[in-house]
Amino acid sequence: MSEPNGHGPLAESEIVYDWNAAERHGPLIHSKFTLHDETLRDGIQSPSVVDPRIEDKLQILHLLDQMGVDSVNIGLPGAGPRAVEDVTTLAREARDAKLTIKVACAARTHLNDVRPIVEISQKLGMPIGVMTFIGSSPIRQYAEGWDLQRIVDMSAEAIDLSVKNGLPTTYVTEDTTRARPDVLTRLFRNAIEHGADRLCLCDTVGHATPDGTRNLIRFTRNLIDGMGAKVGIDWHGHNDRGLALTNAIYSLEYGADRVHGTLLGVGERVGNAALDQILVNLKLLGELPGRDLSGLVEACRLVSRATKVPIPVSYPLVGADAFRTATGVHAAAIIKAEKKGDAYLADRIYSGVPAGMFGREQEIEIGPMSGESNVVYWLSRRGFDPQPALVKHVFAAAKASDHIFTEAEVRRIIDDLGRAAPAASA
């Protein structure tokens, strides 16, 4: 980056003051962590989602692997023959393609759910993680008519079958964020004593705030440490309060070592923590050094097409408007930065997320709030000679409009003038 006055290089800290790190001493996250994807299992429980074709699931699996996502839940084979077939195909692909990503499956704390995972694992000759789940909150116990001893016994039986067959086992307590500490103590101790290697804390209904996230993780860590166990802590959050992303980031700061999410945040009700946004934020926080996330946009668009879930225009990173402006003052600043030959500056002057880091670019459009600089930029980028008469003609049309012009509309306006021709091919 060059200083505007030409007196030498300008450090990033000289053009961006980062209040996010003003009182931070050392790394934000103090231990190693991993990322777990639930798009193909928890995500497709949304009532508005179409279960993707196996071809799309395979492509999603490869894209997750390319981005360095550590593990993925590929389904619940206890749900029936199609689930068994898809899980088998995905696990086989991970094995045969020698993917780095680890695969796991969901299972209720029921032997009939765990057995299919064991059978697929043995058939393919590869480990498949078991993520066995059961409700833990008093409201769930009341609704289901369960007593605590029954939950303990069902949990032990499912964990025993998984551990006996040498499979990595995560014990998942649904609705953990509304469960009593005495109940969680008994359930967690039982799971650890029977060989579970991870405990998954679930904010199943999006109840938790950052304070609740901290309190629950610290409680769990103290229990594990008190037992002298080596057991991981997962955080699995939903977005009912709009706090899923925030809680996911805080969970890692507070001591979780694996965080779950789904691409585009697909999931029941208002969805899960959005894995794509978790990745973006961890990257910008400096917690994913060297991680290539250029395939993240492609992965999100694939999930949108495969599940038939539209991406809102204002959605971070992948929305149509994420890096698009038609406001004169904003566009002018970007254009001035580009004229300095400084792509870094141009990508950050009006964007907290650098488009180029994730395979996108800043887009300047033409509309009623645009300045003439927008028009000049738009024409030049598409090979038109921005003659004053042409610029004024397009600018006048923009000021008289009530919306941002599409490319086709601008080209029609140019044609209406009757004397504009591209100086070079578009």
Domain map of the chain by residue range?
28-307, 324-417
Secondary structure element (H or E) that encloses residue 173, with its range: strand 169-174
Q: What is the dihedral of CA 132, 138, 143, 147, to 10 degrees?
A: 70
Asked whether the predicted pLDDT for residue 6 surpasses 70, the reply is no
Task: Quickly list DSSP for 54-92.
Answer: HHHHHHHHHHHHHTT--EEE---GGG-HHHHHHHHHHHH
With beta carbons less than 8 A apart as the criterion, state whether 184 and 136 touch: yes
Over residues 83-138, the pLDDT tens digits come to 999 999 999 999 999 999 999 999 999 999 999 999 999 999 999 999 999 999 99
DSSP state of 404: P
Q: 128, 124, 55, 52: which is closest to 92 by C-alpha? A: 124
Kindly report the pTM of this predicted structure.
0.90
The first and second tokens of residue 407, run together, are 């490319």
The first and second tokens of residue 144, run together, are 């289901």
Task: Report, as an integer, the average pLDDT of 261-265.
Answer: 98
Q: 337, 338, 399, 393: which is closest to 371 by C-alpha? A: 399
Report the alpha-carbon distance of residue 188 to residue 196 in Å, rounded: 9
Out of 128-142, 169-183, 305-319, 353-367, least confident range: 353-367
The CATH fold of domain 28-307: TIM Barrel (3.20.20)
Task: Report, as an integer, the average pLDDT of 409-425.
Answer: 71
Report the alpha-carbon distance of residue 196 to residue 192 in Å, rounded: 5
What pLDDT score was predicted for residue 8? Answer: 41
The first and second tokens of residue 350, run together, are 């009006």
Report the alpha-carbon distance of residue 278 to residue 262 in Å, rounded: 10
Report the alpha-carbon distance of residue 241 to residue 238 in Å, rounded: 8
Query: What percent of the chain lies above the pLDDT cut of 70?
Result: 94
Quick one: pLDDT band at residue 13, thresholds 50, 70, 90? low
Report the alpha-carbon distance of residue 153 to residue 136 in Å, rounded: 13
**Between the CA of residue 207 and those of 175, 188, 261, what are the distances in Å?**
9, 21, 16
The first and second tokens of residue 191, run together, are 């799971």
Phi then psi for 202, rounded to 5 degrees?
-110, 125
Report the alpha-carbon distance of residue 318 to residue 312 in Å, rounded: 9
What pLDDT score was predicted for residue 12? Answer: 64
The first and second tokens of residue 340, run together, are 């300095």
Task: Report, as an integer, the average pLDDT of 291-302.
Answer: 94
Report the alpha-carbon distance of residue 58 to residue 89 in Å, rounded: 8
Buried b (16+ CB within 10 A) or exposed e, 171-184: bbbbbbbbbeeebb
What pLDDT score was predicted for residue 425? Answer: 43
Asked whether the predicted pLDDT for residue 7 surpasses 60, the reply is no
Q: 360, 367, 326, 327: which is closest to 343 by C-alpha? A: 360
Quick one: pLDDT band at residue 76, thresholds 50, 70, 90? very high
With beta carbons less than 8 A apart as the criterion, state whether 10 and 1 touch: yes
